[in-house]
Structure 1
Amino acid sequence: MKYTQKVERWCVFEIELQSSKEFAKPFHEVRLQAHFQKEQIQTKVHGFYDGGSTWKIRFMPEEEGTYTFQISSNQDEFNGLNGAFESTRALEGNHGPVKVNGKHFSFADGTPFFVMGTTAYAWTYRPEEVRKQTLESFSKYGFNKIRMLVFPKYYKGGVNDVDITYDPPVFPFAGKPNEFDFQMLLPEYFQNYEERVMDLLRLGIEADVILFHPYDCWGIDRGMQQEDDLLYIQYMIARLSAFRNVWWSLANEYDIMETEEGKFCVGMDRKDWDLFGSFIKANDSHHHPISNHNIPLGFIYPDRDWLTHVSYQHPDTYTLLLELKNSYNKPVINDEYQYEGNIKDDWGNSDAQTTVFRHWLSAMAGGYASHGEVIKSEGNDKDLFWSYGGKLVGESGPRLKYMKQILESCSYQKMERDPRNTDGHHYYALHNGIDEYLIFCRYDLPGKNLWYGPFDGTEPEYEATIYDVWKCEMMERKTVKKGYPFSILEWTVVHLKKIP
């Protein structure tokens, strides 16, 4: 048995076990779990097979201090093993896992987390140089949550304007396409995936792990039965839940289905999503966020106790997001509002202005969103960022980074929609009482001024900062009294903070 005596709080404590036996069916013949205890708190986690003669158990200590553990197994050489380790203080930059905080998100140490997502479904199994470019793009533009599939990505839909057909170097299961043994997972595939999760962790980026998706030419989605699904989900929990940057998304477009004749249709029961969500909630001892993602013409997943937040797909990032926040009373992320791109299909041909506008609207509704880019260059219809990563080349990335910087300078989680300064077309606003205002202006509206401050005859002073959010520059900062007129000009943001 190998393990490290000390591990940083919210980092991965790992036990490695070597078996003296060989197993024809290691996923069924070996049962392995460990109980971790600190004072009166006890946590159970399952171990997993990592190839060869190796089994591992992973745990994320969520407190400082001494933890003890004891292993139980149906294998005598593992059963009864025990030990202890020390959880040390979290170092700078380690804020712990993201948790739901009302209708928003915060890290475990209380630091607010503003979601600025993007999409790279299948970047995980591309060549090293492409992965390096992808990570550089994530960091360059401040993206901090990446939607990424576990299974390989295939797509030749719509008007066949894109060709997403790369095979991974190794598949997730033993066998070959359309003849996989879904009860025999291949650790090599999942080792690569977890290394990509660790790449993100080192950059302070959340991995939104998408467990299932319908776009498949290898017979994975159609072939897996419920017992296969649960074995796979349990394996993913055992492998990844100890990483603090993991989120669970049950599916990408969970409600896409097909008839027995192969006709496209939409429904909610391609798989038993409630079973999967409840299973993750019950077995993920570290309680990572869980969501389920719809197709826009389908069904936004109904509220459930296992559903920590709403992940939806629709080009309406304002009105619908407001409705969902109010009806679910949970955080809402528009994880796909259509992508900046130049392909023929409407889901991937938004211009940069539309993309940036929609993303700002999600924030003005008090929610969050995920960007994506589908830009063909020199006729290349295959190496598209939204699927395979690489280099972001669109115009929206730098403007979304600037948007994130502005919003993180505000008390965003305390702010609500301000109808006094919102007309639903030219300008939109958030406020924290009379203490702080954030007004986003999309179009010019000559002659209209903003309403802010108390209406009791007093004239408090405000620090006013005006930004041009298209040019990504601060235009002016000054002190004003209540009543000072601000013009509503396109692509400007006015931030007002009351001076005590």
Structure 2
Amino acid sequence: MFDRASTFGEALDDPDARAILERYLPGVAASPMATQFRNGRLGQLVAIVPALEDLEERERFFAALAEVGSGGGRPPYAPAIDPDGAYEGDNVPRASAEVALPAPTPLWDPLEVRIAGPSHGNPFVDVELDAVFRRGGEEIRVGGFYDGDGVYVVRALADTIGTWTFETRSTARSLDGLTGTVEVVAAREGSHGPVGVDGLHFQHADGTRHRPVGTTAYAWTHQPEELQQKTLETLAEGPFVKLRMCVFPKSYLYNANEPADFPFVGTLEGGFDHTRFDPAHFRRLEQRIADLAALGIQADLILFHAYDRWGFADLGPAVDERYLRYVVRRLSGFANVWWSMANEYDLLWSKDLDDWERLAAVVGEEDAFGHLNSIHNCRPVYDYAKPWITHVSIQRVDVYRTAENTDQWREEWGKPVVIDECAYEGDIDQGWGNITGEEMTRRFWEGAVRGGYVGHGETYYPPALGGAASVGDDDEVLWWSKGGALHGSSPARIAFLEQLQAEAPDGVWDPLPGDWDVPWGGVAGRVKVGYFGFNRPRFRNVILDEGEWRVEVIDTWGMSVEELPGMHRGQVRVELPGRQFMAIRVTRVD
């Protein structure tokens, strides 16, 4: 029997299955490139066949495959495990565990109640624990987690100054009914709180503007400590305030090294115990999230992805939910966390749209503090109108044209648009990883004047850099996955763009009525920015709105701003250098 988890090669080699492939996937099955897809899962390949975007047609395809082949199919998924109602007997006094209360906690810091409790059996699945917090006249439920060695933790985000009280609830008698009081005091200097949606843009909880100038280093926390520290040093010197990163390790091009540890206890060779998490692994992840917070960087955590050799992409519904509850309970107390349900959701062969809706509901149930949440596509775009989705997280939809769709997407979904993957500056052999710094910068500008935000990534092949990106024995350290050092020319230009946006009233640009050949953005009636991109005019006649305006010529690549003499009304001829990547900014002065 063939199903979503079967490989393309297995199906091709079976005559009956091949006939089905040729009927439903003709462009793939008959392609000269079919050999490169042999190890791909059928559940992944359907994402590149437009006809199978129709869910009914997709189900007919898999139903036909299920009727052919030999064998009993895949083993059943692991079932859900209910907490053990008899984990502690009646002889254990209720609320007898020892509670360690935190010192006064600054606003926006994690507020952590630690409990010394029982450790017999398997507390990861045997024990359920949560706490009801009361603060500021409101009541919230926060789930607890087992941190190993008999320690249980309930971690909240200190989002309200004042006195908090709590009472625990647990299936373990010693953990049930514990009470306490904690104080939340003024925020640390420079702490602005979690990022939320502000119309079609973003701002921190204290009202500070947030522009998600982001980059990607998928597997940086799964690398040796020396390389992780190098990544933090690079981020400290760069313009980025958001980092896309995976909870699970990654197996893909330039990602062959084996991590030292994993979210679950176990190894690739010996297998994994999906009923036991590795608290030490998560404590190291938490330290990295805290390190990012100290740099003012949001950790955009990718909860699932398909680039896997350990079985994490196909755990089954029960284990998926167990994993999500543990991750969200551990990490939702950090102000700088965003959730991304998946990187390229449509490539996860074991999940369909109903699964993503179910899993997103689990995140919503466990996150009492409403962190931002979205989902990222490979080819078919998710329905970002779904109420649980706070913002659009999209990758390129065309080899060239993506950022140009930003204003259209804003109108379609009524949510902020973040193009988290527009391709990567680099020189590897993959088309998604060899655009120039000029092209990366151009895509940032195209998205910006249309009211959105474009994400960065870098994929320069290390040998071409004379080994400069290498750390230790690994000579395949590409920033986009492992972090390390940046070598491209776009980050400085991205910082320049961000500086210009920060100068706008309220710190954001929105799309404005444009010319047929030039998009304009800014703040209506106050600031207008026109971007010429790859065009290279020698001059431009600009019609100004009513009032008096200052006119500036911006070299987006040379990072210069040159003001025309005097103030201007009506129409002005703006002389330009006949180079690509120029812009004009006009600012009303009366």
The TM-score with structure 1 as length reference comes to: 0.90
Q: Residues 195 and 205 of structure 2 are in contact (CA less than 8 Å); yes or no, is this contact kept in structure 1? A: yes
1:352-431 mapped onto 2 (5 Å cutoff): 352-378=437-463, 382-411=476-505, 415-420=509-514, 422-424=515-517, 427-431=518-522
Shift of 1:270: 7.7
Structure 1 stretch displaced more, 67-76 or 116-125: 67-76
Number of the residue aligned with 1:470: 557
The counterpart of 2:542, out of the listed 443, 450, 460, is: 450
Q: Which moved more, 1:236-245 or 1:35-44?
A: 35-44
Q: Are 1:284 and 2:372 matched, yes or no?
A: no
Aligned pair in 2 of structure 1 residues 62, 356: CA closer, same or farther (>3 Å)?
same
Pick from 477, 485, 491: which aligns with 2:573?
Answer: 485
Q: What is the match of residue 159 of structure 1?
A: none
| Match of residue 435, structure 2, among 347, 350, 356 | 350
Which structure 2 residues correspond to residues 265-284 of structure 1 after superposition, within 5 A? Answer: 269=352, 272-284=355-367
Alignment deviations for residues 456-498 of structure 1 (CA, whole Å, 9 cap, x no partner) = xxxx323344332212233337551223332355333333321
User: In 1, Cα distance between the equivalents of 2:428 and 2:136?
Assistant: 58
Contact kept in structure 2, 1:461 and 1:479, CA below 8 Å: no
In the alignment, which residue of structure 2 is the partner of 1:14?
112
**Larger Rg computed on CA atoms:** 2
Displacement after TM superposition at 1:120 (Å): 0.2
- Kindly tell me: are residues 172 and 39 of structure 1, through their superposed partners in 2, closer, same or farther at Cα, counting changes over 3 Å? closer
Letter in 2 for 1:475: E
Question: In the superposition, relative to structure 1, how do residues 203 and 404 fare at CA in structure 2: closer, same or farther (>3 Å)?
Answer: same
Question: Percentage identity across aligned positions?
Answer: 33
Give 1:97's match in structure 2, choosing from 194, 212, 221: 194
Classify the secondary structure of the residue corresponding to 1:69. strand
Distance change >3 Å, CA 184–CA 114, structure 1 → 2: same
2: CA distance, partners of 1:164 / 1:416: 39
5 Å-filtered alignment, 1:35-114, equals 35-114=132-211
Q: Give the counterpart letter for 2:589 in structure 1.
A: I
Give the whole-Å Cα distance in 1 for the aligned partners of 2:438 and 2:125.
53
CA contact (8 A) 1:7 1:87 kept: yes
Per the alignment, do residues 8 and 465 of structure 1 end up closer, same or farther by CA in structure 2, a change over 3 Å counting? Answer: farther
Structure with the higher fraction of residues in strand conformation: 1
The answer to whether the 8 A contact 1:343-1:375 is kept is: yes
Q: Note the C-alpha offset of 1:60.
A: 1.2
Find the counterpart in structure 1 of residue 235 from structure 2.
138
| Range with bigger deviation, 229-238 or 411-420 | 411-420
2: CA distance between counterparts of 1:343 and 1:289?
33
Q: Tell me if structure 2 keeps the 8 A contact 1:46–1:238.
A: yes
- d(CA) in 1 for partners of 2:348, 2:566: 57
What is the TM-score with the length of structure 2 in the denominator? 0.77
Tell me which of 300, 322, 325 is aligned to 2:382: 300
1:34 corresponds to which of 131, 143, 152: 131
Equivalent pair of 2:501/2:507 in contact (CA under 8 Å): no
Query: Does the CA contact (< 8 Å) of 1:11 and 1:60 recur in 2?
Result: yes
1:357-398: CA deviations, max 9, x gaps? Answer: 011111111111110000012256621110000000011111
Q: Post-superposition shift, 1:440?
A: 2.3
Aligned pairs, number? 475
Structure 2 residue aligned with 1:160: none
In the other structure, the counterpart of 1:186 is 278
Q: 1:305 to 1:258 in 2, by over 3 A?
A: closer
Question: How far, CA to CA, are the matches of 1:196 and 1:414 in structure 2?
Answer: 29
- Maintained 8 Å contact 1:250/1:290: yes
- Summarize the Cα distance change of 1:301–1:167 in structure 2 as closer, same or farther, 3 Å threshold: farther
Measure, in 1, the Cα distance between the counterparts of 2:165 and 2:311. 43
Amino acid aligned to 2:307: Y
Distance in 2 (CA, whole Å) between partners of 1:300 and 1:75 is: 41
Note the C-alpha offset of 1:275: 0.7
Please tell me whether the aligned partners of residues 334 and 368 of structure 1 are also in contact (alpha carbons under 8 angstroms): yes
Unaligned runs of 5+ in 1: 157-162, 260-267, 455-459
1:229 matches 2:340: no
Matched, 1:164 2:267: no
Q: Which residue of 1 aligns with 2:332?
A: 241
SS at match of 1:255: helix
SS at match of 2:501: helix
* Larger proportion of helix: 2
Q: CA RMSD in A?
A: 2.0
CA distance in 2, matches of 1:149, 1:429: 35
1:331 to 416, 419, 439: 416
8 Å CA contact 1:10–1:62 kept in 2: the answer is: yes
> For 1:343, what is the secondary structure of its paired residue?
coil
Aligned-pair distance for 1:269?
1.0
Q: Which amino acid aligns with 2:480?
A: W
Contact 1:322/1:365 (CA < 8 Å) preserved in 2? yes
Aligned to 1:4: 102
Alignment of 1:201-240 (within 5 A): 201-222=293-314, 224-240=315-331
Whether contact under 8 Å (2:539, 2:573) holds in the other structure is no
Instruction: Report the Cα distance in structure 2 between the residues aligned to 1:462 and 1:302, rounded to whole angstroms.
Output: 39
- What is the match of residue 461 of structure 1? 548
Instruction: Give the counterpart letter for 1:291 in structure 2.
Output: S
* Aligned-partner residue type, residue 582 of structure 2: T
Equivalent pair of 1:145/1:206 in contact (CA under 8 Å): yes
Q: Which moved more, 1:281-290 or 1:66-75?
A: 66-75
1:413 positional shift = 6.2
Distance 2:499 2:123 in 1: 49
- How far, CA to CA, are the matches of 2:122 and 2:564 in structure 1? 67
Q: What do residues 81-134 of structure 1 show as CA deviations (whole Å, max 9, x unaligned)? A: 211122112233111100011111111111111110100001112222211221
* CA deviations over 1:240-273 (Å, ceiling 9, x no partner): 00100000000111101559xxxxxxxx718710
Contact conserved, 1:141 with 1:400, CA < 8 A, in 2?
A: no
Partner letter of residue 221 of structure 1?
Answer: A
Q: Is the 8 A contact 2:331 2:337 kept in 1?
A: yes
2:545 is paired with a residue whose SS is coil
Q: Unpaired runs of 5+ in structure 2? A: 1-98, 468-474
Q: What letter corresponds to residue 344 of structure 1 in structure 2?
A: D
TM superposition shift of 1:412: 6.1
Distance in 1 of aligned mates of 2:564 and 2:176 = 66
